[in-house]
Amino acid sequence: MTRAGTVAALRRAHAERALHPREVACEALRRAAGADPATWIHRLEPAAVLAYVERLEGLDFDNAPLWGVPFAIKDNIDLAGTPTTAGCPDYAYVPERSATVVERLLAAGAVPIGKTNLDQFATGLVGTRSPYGAVPNAIDPSYVAGGSSSGSAVAVAHGIVPFALGTDTAGSGRVPAAFNGLVGFKPTRGWWSTRGVVPACRTLDCVSVFARTVADACAVAEVAGGFDAEGPFSRRVEFAGFDADAARFGYLAPERLPWFGNDAYPDLYERCVSGLPGTPRAVGPEPFLAAGRLLYEGPWLAERVAAVGDFVEAHPDAVHPVTRTVIEGGRTLDAADCFRAQYRLAELRREADRAFADIDVLVAPTAATHYALAEVEADPLGTNARLGTFTNCVNLLDLCAVAVPAGTTPEGLPFGVTLLAPAGRDHALLHAAAAFLGEETPGADEPLPGTLHLAVCGAHMAGQALNPELTGRGAWRVDATRTAPRYRLLALPDGKRPALMRSESGGAPIELEVWSVPSGAVGGFLATVDQPLALGSVELEDGRWVHGFVGDSAASSGATDITRFGGWRSYRASLRAL
């Protein structure tokens, strides 16, 4: 599986029949068996895995974007017929039905390999609070892997599976990504259903994904996301966006951040900031740090008691001592304390909103430092608390986040940063993360599941007057190109829009952009487009055909032929020069 270690590569190999999903699944099982035992809580038997492979025969490859792709599941997420332990053997149960996100992945052709280890009850950022053993870091086993989704991150980092599900309440889907050199995507809260997930803090919990590339994380997101009427905390996300190719970046002022004695991280962060495009804007870290501190001072600690407190009280010896100490701390809060914390969080959200008024993406360190296993053992509570310094705030402030690799320390350990944006900016944020890593734009070659490619050549292009009608619906630009040399461009009489007309003679290449639009937003966008424009198909200069706006038969009436300018921008520039 070395030459097919990503979702995209596996899909190509399967399409070309260079690999068979049985072969891929067996190789994943072999690698899983050879991994550190602490990585897994339950590995599926080969017969069970191959039963999932046999199901693929009944799926249409073209409509199953994860066809034959093996994956791992954090063991607080249900897989039907397989025990869910949440890292506590006495808590185990066997669900009859898979979690919503798992059901969607299976329907898309993904093949489960097993359930991964975690900090018990998803309470921790270290990956050591488990009776199944501490999960060693994939790069240096003397260091922690990060938690709570430790096993999922390590399974991807060791190349066992191309992607793995985690959960994220305070950073559990981001800290392990940073410590193991991975991409970790935490979607907008409620976009991915948490039905079938053992709760930590139900109002904050998110399912997340670990992958090697942003494109893979994006492919999983487009399958896993979506409103779930059976999930009480699912929400109909109002997607919005920004032009990710011209994103306004912000960063937390490094000199005002706590680094807890780590000398390498500040230097690596400053190097990262210095390489950001445009003119990055320094953002005061105080509201983000203050919101993070609320996580273990207010109602969200008490919420852990609501989630598993009865079990802890009834089975104290079955619970990891550190986990028990953390959860029991939530019993000391009264109702007034909980409301005061919520009032304070509302104030901090307004401060964060003001910070994002001038930027599209905030780049923050994922963690302030990285600890060896021995250091965590000596101070389990203090080290864990410090690891959440920059991550605790994200779910509380209702942000989406992508953790990405951003360098290596002198000791050879990964350093990571997290790209943050307000809720609903997930698509544009993933695009910006891909650009940050120098990856090909997710969905550039063909639309991702749940999206539509749409070509625009006038006022809807980036920087033009009507572009917010695209970005405001969560669309992101995937290509800036030209048409085949068989089109004319006409300026309509209103002076605000052009019409693209196919012409087998006398045509020329016309500048345009291809935007990826979430399928659910397409109808609303089309309603904003008036005659004489209509949705049709446009041929690009590389021979591809995409949906796009073209002029109907009435478009030439009273219009001015501006083909010679080669595009709307050049035409508008010529008018300004007059």
Q: Which of 66, 81, 48 is nearest to 9 (CA)?
A: 66
Q: Which entry of 98, 130, 148, 193 is annotated as an active-site residue?
A: 148
131 prior amide bond cis, ω within 30: no
Closest-CA residue to 196 (of 109, 90, 73): 73
DSSP element (H, E) containing 336: helix 335-356
Q: Are 52 and 35 in contact (CB under 8 A)?
A: no
Return the bridge partners of 515, or none.
454, 477
Q: Is 186 a catalytic residue?
A: no
Give the relative orientation of helices 100-107 and 214-224 as an angle to the nearest 10 degrees: 110
Distances (CA, A) of 37 to 117, 119, 135, 154, 394: 9, 15, 9, 11, 32
Containing 502, the helix (H) or strand (E) segment is strand 498-502
On whether the CB atoms of residues 221 and 426 are closer than 8 A, the answer is: yes
Task: Report DSSP state, residue 483.
Answer: B
- Closest of 84, 111, 108 to residue 97, by C-alpha: 84
CA 364 to chain CA centroid, nearest Å: 16
Q: Find the catalytic residue in 130, 150, 172, 516.
A: 172
Query: Does the active-site annotation cover 553?
Result: no
Residue type for position 233: F
Instruction: Give the single-character DSSP code of 561.
Output: E
Spatial separation of the C-alpha atoms in residues 219 and 167, rounded to whole Å:
18
74 catalytic residue (yes or no) = yes
What distance in Å separates the CA atoms of residue 185 and residue 202, rounded to the nearest whole number?
19
Query: Residue 504 burial (CB < 10 Å; 0-12/13-18/19+)?
Result: exposed
Angle among Cα 430, 208, 262 to the nearest 5 degrees reads: 80
Helix H or strand E encompassing 25: helix 21-34
* Catalytically annotated residue among 74, 130, 193, 516: 74
> 140: helix, coil or strand?
coil
Residue numbers annotated as active site: 74, 148, 172
